[in-house]
Structure 1
Amino acid sequence: MFKVTASEIRDLIIAFFVISLSFGIANTGRDMNALMMILPPIMVGVGLGFILHELGHKFVSMKYGYWAEFKLWPQGLILALVTSFFGFVFAAPGAVYTYANYMSDEINGKISIAGPIVNIILAIAFLIIATIVYRSAFTSETSLLIFVICSLGYSINSFLAAFNLLPIGNLDGSKVMRWNIGIWFVTIAIAGIMTALSMTMGVENMVRIIIGF
């Protein structure tokens, strides 16, 4: 049975708000008016991306019969806030800890890849929705808001997937690589390309190409 503890909910909420604020600062700098405007759409993209990423790890862990729980990493929250002022976010606010006496590299790899896969799927979903509402965004404020939310959702989720798949330290990428280097290469390539496109072309130009606008 999928269970979430009270302390886990508390840690997820704290991490959610700090990570949302960090991405907001990274996108707007010290402009408070711009930050207040962009923060709600970012919270949607980060909220779904961050929480479902962690719950993806938790779900797969519990599927294999292990108890898993998200725990906050205070130093990671501080690091996220500090790096945001330099225009990027080192997003490591905490992690899902899986409690097991023994775990094979395969199971550990499958648990680890679940989070980035969730982010990739969410990014694609956001891009599809952005494509659907793009034409009406010129005449409808609601459609424009949805497009902005989806644009940020695509960019943030593709970045979260690519970042977490880096084979560094205790990030997901290290565990996935130990399990299957081929699967790791394919997933980080997909996430990396998606992130690069959002940073170079921008989501609006991607959408315009897709619909031939």
Structure 2
Amino acid sequence: MFKFTASEVRDLIIAFIIISLCFAIVNGGRDVNAILSILPIVMVGVGAGFILHELGHKFVSMKYGYWAEFKLWPQGLIFALITSFFGFVFAAPGAVYTYANYMTDEINGKISIAGPVVNIALALIFLGIATAVYPSALYSETYALVFIICAVGYSINSFLAVFNLLPIGNLDGSKVMAWNFGIWVVTIAIAGILTLMSMTIGVQNIVRLIIGM
């Protein structure tokens, strides 16, 4: 059963708002109106991607009997905000800290991979919904909005997955690699392909290829 402290809930909300703003800046440029317009759309993808990513770490940690708590990293939030004005987001607003006297590389790796796997799953779910609504989106503003939300959700979650799997610093990738190199390669390859397709082909063209339009 999940248990949250008041400070943990506060940190999650702050990180969620700032990271959402960062991705809105990347997509809206320096146009304030564009940023405000896309912010609610971005918040769906970031909300699902960021919150569930961290809860994935927390769930697996607690499954192994450890206490786990998300803590904000103010410097990481500031850096994310700065990088967003240069067209990308270094998304490191904080992390779930697992408290344990001793932890094997295997358990640490499984806890670490949970977050990126959640992002990969969400990216595929968003893509699936986008594919399902696309034909109707051509004629309905409501479905068109759902498609846009899902397209952004796919792009953000695929990026979050590949970013967190980078084997640098304290990111998840370093811990997964230390546990099982093969699993790390497969996971980052999947996340990388999803991200590359989003950046090069575009979600609309991916969907058109899937449904044969």
What is the TM-score when the length of structure 1 is the normalising length? 0.99
Deviation at 1:161, TM superposition (A): 0.2
Question: Aligned with 1:177: secondary structure?
Answer: helix
Structure 1 residue 118 corresponds to structure 2 residue 144:
no
Counterparts of 1:138 and 1:183, CA distance in 2: 40
| 1:53 alignment counterpart | 53
Structure 1 residue 16 corresponds to structure 2 residue 37:
no
Deviation at 1:141, TM superposition (A): 1.1
Q: Which amino acid aligns with 2:185?
A: F
Q: Which amino acid aligns with 1:144?
A: A
Structure 1 residue 211 corresponds to structure 2 residue 211:
yes
Counterparts of 1:26 and 1:72, CA distance in 2: 22
Counterparts of 2:14 and 2:83, CA distance in 1: 18
Structure 2 gap ranges (5+)? none
Aligned residues: 213
Q: Which amino acid aligns with 2:195?
A: T
| 1:92 alignment counterpart | 92
Question: Aligned with 2:98: secondary structure?
Answer: strand
Counterparts of 1:13 and 1:56, CA distance in 2: 17
Q: Which amino acid aligns with 2:39?
A: L
Deviations 1:107-153 (A, max 9, x none): 00000000000000000000000000001011111101100000000
Deviation at 1:196, TM superposition (A): 0.3
Deviation at 1:28, TM superposition (A): 1.4
Which stretches of structure 1, 4 residues or longer, exceed 6 Å deviation after superposition?
none
Counterparts of 2:212 and 2:4, CA distance in 1: 45
| 2:35 alignment counterpart | 35
Deviation at 1:92, TM superposition (A): 0.1
Deviations 1:172-210 (A, max 9, x none): 000000000000000000000000000000000000000
Q: Which amino acid aligns with 1:191?
A: A
| 1:4 alignment counterpart | 4
Question: Aligned with 1:134: secondary structure?
Answer: helix
Deviation at 1:37, TM superposition (A): 1.1
Q: Which amino acid aligns with 1:157?
A: N
Q: CA RMSD in A?
A: 0.5
Counterparts of 2:73 and 2:63, CA distance in 1: 25
Counterparts of 2:124 and 2:186, CA distance in 1: 16
| 1:163 alignment counterpart | 163
Structure 1 gap ranges (5+)? none
Deviation at 1:68, TM superposition (A): 0.2
Q: Which moved more, 1:30-39 or 1:74-83?
A: 30-39
What is the TM-score when the length of structure 2 is the normalising length? 0.99
Deviations 1:147-175 (A, max 9, x none): 00000000000000000000000000000
Deviation at 1:27, TM superposition (A): 1.1
Deviation at 1:29, TM superposition (A): 1.1
| 2:26 alignment counterpart | 26
